């Protein structure tokens, strides 16, 4: 079929992803490569139909060009270096210079052409998670298309048929390619006012991902199934995850997709939200209920919406406490409550750097600077106005400020607690707590035991 008449044809389903001709290759759009993990400002659509753009946390939106009414994107699958947080670079695979790849933002009804160039050391494909599209555009290697060989460029063409929150990732050697960081976000905006899609003032998106990178090294182990040691949002770990900065009174939407191998209960402090949509589409009003935590299972996406009406710095994090930590030895012995007085000094005569961890819990880890290998993040780190924030991994802050300007996404700095509104130390008298008398011995209790072995009469 003539590619120029493709979109005018009713035969969408008849065409599969195909290798581009040399003529088309010469004409394909220049891929835009990102070199930093910084959060880019939302991309105001320069052409096509207007929409309110999203902000990709520590990411950016893929620029496109219009070609005879078709939106054309160019993704390049390639090895990348991604800063997970200051002090640690990971060698991952991604798209257009980073992992995740750029967010694709389109409008319901847009006709799309996406060029995918493979610069990986092995073949790949892209699956467009959640899209309605012709079967041959679904990107499942071997099933709906041939894998894209090393060095080749394939083209995907389809229409963005329904609005919502989606993602993209390979469906070729998936275990390795997703463990290496290949994924990206996708947002399809509604073409007109939609009864189930509210206008919001701030629209954030990010993917949950996870890596197993040995301390001191930079390449993830792709064979690890569940015991990853880096729990990340858009391949960033706290304190490398940017804050979500909003104006008090803004309606806020946060879109989250999970491409890790376990579920993540995402928890927001200080506000109640509703889940207004999934990758299956908008949730009917009657099926929404208030939450402060919503679990996002593997391969799921959720849209959280709320009115940001409480000023402050509010934690936003995964509620699995092991997921708000950076790499640590899982085999650290449990020392809580162990009396080892004098032991550390004796060992330090032999091993000067020796530290004993966890005797009184692990909060000390947030303060002490223990020697760690290069390319390794402290287990819990990040400093707030009142001291160390004893977290890493899947943690950041929602900053709600009265003074934040509309559309201004810059970080307003730490929240200043108004006088009299912060937890404070009690300095008055403390009465000894009254404790109950020692429990009576069991033999003194009057217990009616069942008689004999006959358990009848239940």
Q: Which stretch binds Cu ion (CB under 5 A): 57-65, 70-78, 185-193, 315-323?
A: 315-323
CB-wise, 3 or 320, nearer to Cu ion? 320
Contact between 302 and Cu ion (CB under 5 A)? no
| Minimum distance, C-beta of residue 318 to Cu ion, in the bound complex (Å) | 3
Closest CA to 365 of 343, 391, 386: 391
74 exposure class (CB count in 10 Å sphere: 0-12, 13-18, 19+): buried
CB-wise, 65 or 319, nearer to Cu ion? 319
| Minimum distance, C-beta of residue 179 to Cu ion, in the bound complex (Å) | 16
| Minimum distance, C-beta of residue 152 to Cu ion, in the bound complex (Å) | 37
Measured in whole angstroms, the distance separating CA 281 from the mean position of its chain's CA atoms is 19
Q: Which stretch binds Cu ion (CB under 5 A): 36-44, 92-100, 279-287, 317-325?
A: 317-325
DSSP string, 171-238: SSSHHHHHHTT--EEEEEE-SS-BTTB---SEEEEEEEEEE---TT--S--TT-SS--SEEEETTB-B
- The bridge status of strand 55-56 relative to strand 293-296 is unpaired
CB-wise, 106 or 301, nearer to Cu ion? 301
Contact between 320 and Cu ion (CB under 5 A)? yes
Closest CA to 266 of 249, 254, 277, 276: 254
CB-wise, 28 or 296, nearer to Cu ion? 296
| Minimum distance, C-beta of residue 250 to Cu ion, in the bound complex (Å) | 26
CB-wise, 137 or 394, nearer to Cu ion? 394
220 close to 278: Cβ distance less than 8 angstroms: no
The total number of residues shown for the chain amounts to 458
| Minimum distance, C-beta of residue 301 to Cu ion, in the bound complex (Å) | 15
Residues from 322 through 341 that contact Cu ion (CB under 5 A) = 323
Question: What Cα–Cα distance (Å) separates residue 269 from each residue in 288, 309, 312, 320?
Answer: 19, 12, 10, 15
Contact between 317 and Cu ion (CB under 5 A)? no
The 76-115 site mask, x for binding Cu ion (CB under 5 A), equals ----------------------------------------
CB-wise, 249 or 299, nearer to Cu ion? 299
How far apart CA 97 and CA 36 sit, in angstroms, is 8
Contact between 207 and Cu ion (CB under 5 A)? no
How far apart CA 365 and CA 357 sit, in angstroms, is 8
Contact between 391 and Cu ion (CB under 5 A)? no
Residues from 261 through 280 that contact Cu ion (CB under 5 A) = 264
How far apart CA 280 and CA 297 sit, in angstroms, is 14
| Minimum distance, C-beta of residue 90 to Cu ion, in the bound complex (Å) | 19
Contact between 318 and Cu ion (CB under 5 A)? yes
Contact between 3 and Cu ion (CB under 5 A)? no
Closest CA to 138 of 178, 99, 166: 166
CB-wise, 323 or 399, nearer to Cu ion? 323
CB-wise, 158 or 238, nearer to Cu ion? 238
| Minimum distance, C-beta of residue 264 to Cu ion, in the bound complex (Å) | 3
Number of residues that bind Cu ion (CB under 5 A): 4
- The bridge status of strand 202-211 relative to strand 230-233 is antiparallel
Phi, psi torsion values for 212, nearest 5 degrees: -115, 100
279 close to 166: Cβ distance less than 8 angstroms: yes
Residues that bind Cu ion (CB under 5 A): 264, 318, 320, 323
């Amino acid at each position: 079929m003539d590619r120029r008449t493709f979109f005018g044809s009713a035969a969408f389903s008849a065409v599969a992803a195909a290798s581009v001709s040399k003529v088309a290759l010469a004409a394909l759009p220049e891929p835009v490569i990102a070199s930093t993990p910084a959060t880019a400002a939302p991309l105001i659509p320069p052409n096509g139909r207007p929409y309110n753009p999203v902000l990709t946390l520590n990411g950016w939106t893929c620029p496109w060009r219009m070609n005879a009414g078709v939106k054309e994107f160019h993704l390049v699958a390639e090895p990348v270096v991604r800063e997970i947080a200051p002090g640690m670079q990971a060698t991952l695979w991604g798209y257009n210079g980073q992992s995740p790849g750029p967010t694709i933002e389109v409008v319901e009804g847009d006709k799309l052409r996406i060029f995918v160039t493979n610069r990986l050391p092995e073949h790949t494909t892209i699956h467009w998670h959640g899209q309605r599209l012709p079967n041959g555009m679904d990107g499942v290697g071997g099933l709906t298309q041939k894998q894209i060989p090393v060095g080749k460029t394939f083209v995907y063409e389809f229409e963005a048929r329904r609005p919502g929150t989606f993602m993209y990732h390979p469906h070729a050697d998936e275990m390795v390619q997703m463990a290496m960081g290949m994924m990206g976000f996708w947002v399809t905006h509604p073409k007109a006012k939609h009864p189930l899609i509210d206008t919001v003032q701030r629209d954030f998106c990010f993917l949950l991902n996870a890596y197993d990178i040995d301390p001191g090294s930079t390449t993830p182990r792709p064979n690890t199934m569940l015991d990853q040691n880096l729990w990340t949002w858009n391949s960033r770990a706290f304190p490398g995850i940017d804050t979500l900065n909003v104006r008090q009174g803004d309606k806020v939407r946060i879109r989250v997709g999970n491409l890790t191998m376990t579920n993540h209960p995402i928890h927001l402090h200080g506000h109640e939200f509703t889940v207004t949509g999934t990758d299956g589409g908008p949730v009917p009003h009657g099926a929404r209920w208030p939450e402060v935590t919503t679990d996002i299972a593997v391969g799921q996406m959720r849209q959280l919406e709320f009115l940001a009406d409480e000023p402050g710095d509010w934690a936003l994090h995964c509620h699995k406490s092991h997921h708000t930590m950076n790499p640590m030895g899982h085999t650290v012995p449990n020392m809580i409550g162990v009396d080892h007085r004098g032991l550390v000094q004796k060992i330090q005569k032999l091993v000067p750097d020796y530290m004993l961890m966890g005797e009184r819990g692990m909060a000390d880890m947030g303060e002490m600077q223990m020697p760690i290998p290069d390319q390794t993040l402290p287990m819990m780190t990040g400093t707030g106005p009142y001291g160390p924030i004893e977290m890493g991994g899947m943690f950041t802050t929602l900053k709600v400020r009265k003074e934040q300007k509309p559309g201004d996404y810059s970080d307003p700095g730490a929240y200043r607690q108004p006088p009299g509104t912060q937890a404070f130390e009690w300095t008055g008298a403390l009465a000894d707590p009254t404790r109950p008398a020692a429990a009576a011995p069991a033999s003194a209790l009057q217990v009616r035991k069942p008689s004999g072995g006959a358990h009848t009469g239940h």
